[in-house]
Amino acid sequence: MTASSQTKASTARFGVVVFPGSNCDADSHDAVNSFTGAEARYLWHKDTELAGLDCVILPGGFSYGDYLRCGAIARFSPIMKAVRRFAEDGGLVIGICNGFQILLEAGMLPGAMHRNAGLKFVCKLVNLRVENAATPFTRAYAPGQRISIPIAHMEGNYFIDAEGLAEMEQHDQIVVRYCDEAGEVTMEANPNGSLGNIAGVCNRDGNVFGLMPHPERVCDPVVGGADGRGVFESIMDFLVNKR
């Protein structure tokens, strides 16, 4: 089972899934181990056992080369069945970039990804507005807070039909949107054509979160910022101090 209310920082356990082609697995692993006081271990995509974990990270990268469609093949990895069960039992699952794409393909989050509107890979620091600061992944941020986190993807152009969008809005599932310096959600601030500038969404229960930006890349000012720490701090706060 997932975290009990007795969880201490030192006993919170993260699993980072390694698919063939994952390449931000080590970055996520390092971010957890360096800045949360918790412990992360790698999970092989053929593993089927997630017992004892509190949070599963599906990291960025190019699982299966992102061939066919991003995440399309990885979602059939044996571990994904276990991840689905883990989420159903209330475990925390965060998909970053490719991990987000996998969660979409697996139907664990609503919507789908198109190629970026500019058709090019985009790697840069972007501004995000925290739309929902009540999730286990964003509670360390203030509602409406502007944060700077890099993106690095070719297919982050989020799409969902009107019905699905309305439903998501109704349930507060849009967690972060691309915005400008001033925190305004504008067309110019949209780096990839995403519908409604959507950068990250959660499921209805709020325990599965997917986002294109890479919080694990900005946990240390030496490498360009620390705005991403909030995501990991939120998770820890949720696990330790509970719901």
Binding positions for another protein, rule: CB under 8 A: 20-21, 23-24, 26-27, 30-31, 60-62, 64-69, 72-73, 76, 78, 105, 111-112, 114-117, 119-124, 150, 152, 154, 157, 159-161, 193, 214, 216-217, 219-220, 222-224
Nearer to another protein among residue 206 and residue 213 (C-beta): 213
Smallest distance, Å, CB 99 to another protein?
14
* DSSP H helix total and E strand total for the chain: 5, 11
Q: Which two tokens stand for residue 158?
A: 């989020």
Nearer to another protein among residue 177 and residue 217 (C-beta): 217
131 noted as active-site residue: no
CA–CA distance, 40 with 47 (Å, rounded to integer): 16
Contacts of 119 (CB under 8 A, 6+ apart): none
123 noted as active-site residue: no
70 noted as active-site residue: no
| Rg value, the chain, Cα | 16
Smallest distance, Å, CB 121 to another protein?
5
Q: Which long-range contacts (CB under 8 A, 24 or more apart) does 143-148 make?
A: 144/183, 146/179, 146/181, 146/182, 146/183, 147/227, 147/228, 147/230, 148/218, 148/225, 148/227
Give ∠ CA 43-48-52 in degrees, rounded to 5: 70
Report how far Cα 121 is from the mean position of its chain's Cα atoms: 19
Contacts of 156 (CB under 8 A, 6+ apart): 97, 113, 116, 122, 191, 192, 194, 199, 212
Q: DSSP letter at 63?
A: G
Nearer to another protein among residue 3 and residue 109 (C-beta): 109
- Looking at 97, 179, 202, 219, which residue is catalytic? 97
- Looking at 105, 131, 155, 216, which residue is catalytic? 216
Smallest distance, Å, CB 146 to another protein?
19
Nearer to another protein among residue 63 and residue 207 (C-beta): 63
Nearer to another protein among residue 73 and residue 175 (C-beta): 73
Smallest distance, Å, CB 225 to another protein?
11
Q: Which two tokens stand for residue 133?
A: 């600061």
Smallest distance, Å, CB 185 to another protein?
19
Catalytically active residues are 97, 214, 216
